[in-house]
Chain A
Amino acid sequence: MDVEAQKAWSDRGWPKLSVWRTRAETPSLAREQPYLDTLPALIAGTLLVLAASGLVLAVYYDPRHPYASIGFIRREVNYGWLIQSFHQSGTTMLFGAVYLLLFRGILLRLYKGSGEFVWLGSVALAVVLLLAGWLGYMLSGGAVANASLMQASLSAEIWPGLPGRLAGWFFGGPHGPGTLARLAVLHAVLGVAVFALLLLLRAARKAAQPQAANPVAFHPYYTAQYFVAFTIFALIFAVFVFFAPHFGDNPLNAVAPSRLIAPINPTPPWFLAPLSAVRVLLPGDSGGVIAVLAMLGLLFALPWLDRSPDPTRRTGFLYRLVVVVLALDVLALGLAAACRPSPLAVILQIVFALWYFFHFLVLTPLLTAMEEK
């Protein structure tokens, strides 16, 4: 069968295929788009790796003996150590890409004008992934994860009213043998549901695409570009999987949980550390939750915190500088949370957390309004 006959054959059974083919070969895209535009596709690819490796892990995982069953997967299952490493390092790659996506959105003011929905979709994606990432960390069953789950489920118990009842339903009561079984299901459901968010994000990105003056087709031009991005991403991924499989994890989480020993510093893995640090801003467990929600809520509100009325205007030097400072601030927030607990570490966390809120509530409206003049 030659190529034309093959096309006719597949179009007869699946007409959509020729629609997709024509669309991919029709020049409609602007030239020389940056490599970082491939980030959503890289996130989708990482999520596929996580879903596939997570499926294998779920087959062998026993929520009643989490620590022992991760050990079983790493030691007894054929290539279980590799699949577990793919899943663990996959989260590092995933959140690296997600944080980079958000940083780039803020830096280049992609959240304005037609990019509003893309921005809201990206932030929603990040929030859902952070929740799924936290749940996955709980499933690792180490001493730190265990202590963190104990604290979260116990404080959920004592909350009054609807939030308490919702949280009680979420955890199924204080941390007991059934809690992890429940969280394993929620982790998997969120991990699959996030693909729906990716589809929404894709639709928003398409709608926000400007008309190109001298367009090129997706294939072969952008397929070649995506291939470069994917191989370089895979290269970094491989370095983490094979040479730093526990990157960014608290070393204490390698210890089996014990009822008698609480870890000195139960810091979560690196991608949750900034959120964990912001909790010190407000007192009490519910204060911590409110601080984290405010931190994420500010990202949602960003399109309206930017006071510049012209959505297409490029950002000025000062604005870019403070955005880079913000990125360093979030990094420092995570590092301060990972330090051994000390008065200095707490003061640093408060300072860095306050700077985060200062950036969004004062600097962003001020600078964007100033640069407009």
Chain B
Amino acid sequence: MGIVKAIKLVHDYYKYDESGHVEGTYRALDNVELDIEAGQFIAVLGHNGSGKSTLAKHINALLFPTEGALWLDGMNTTEEEDIWKIRQKAGMVFQNPDNQIIGTVVEEDVGFGPENMGIPTDDIWQRVNESLEAVGMTAYRHHSPNKLSGGQKQRVAIAGVMAMHPKCIILDEPTAMLDPNGRKEVLRAVKELNEKEGITVVLITHYMEEVVNADKVFVMDQGKVVMQGTPREVFSRVEELKSYRLDVPQVTLLAYELKQAGVKIPAGILTTEELVNALCQ
């Protein structure tokens, strides 16, 4: 079993009328099957309302299946006694950097998670040191979080998750509110965690360029996984992606257009380098 495994996962949201009776349901996840191997870098794409965030919240037991099941590191999320273990093994980072920082000093914020877990003080400090180092924020450890840039705040949020020693980290559009530099910083930090620490990454994003290095991409639409494969496989299906309100990176689109116009280049080009090499042989 992989680190995240879902079988026939269904999630219904209920709408209640004023007297508390169920008025209607909305199926946000519809028979989702997932099997993510430990250590992979996974990207999830999908338009607004396609079910990405609902899926993310199932991975660390913030939501529970209406039908089907999801296991995190072998633990079923509906087993109540495992909930805290699950939330510690699978950490979440959300979109808005200002909504997830609680400490008044960077290092205190990062130490909040392990402190709540009852880790001895000396170990907390060691975890704080390692986590800040891992995201490149050691220099700011004594700073006040509200004076940091968006990208720096997100890295602090990631360090806070890291300090809980998770096996898996789920990032729900972590770069949506950041400028280009902030985006680069955060992605670099995430990639390093994946490569150096071997942490499984699930990255939800609307920026297609951010997923070209992923091991696997899932595309969601109306609560279903409608496409999956390597970035190359997924991004070579330009028209299909567009039908799901998505896009491809500019370089992939350019290569696709050139190919349509009769230029002999391979399908599914993902990087500038690949395109340049294909054109300048």
Asked if A and B bind, the verdict is no
By a beta-carbon cutoff of 8 Å, the part of chain B in contact with chain A is: none
By a beta-carbon cutoff of 8 Å, the part of chain A in contact with chain B is: none
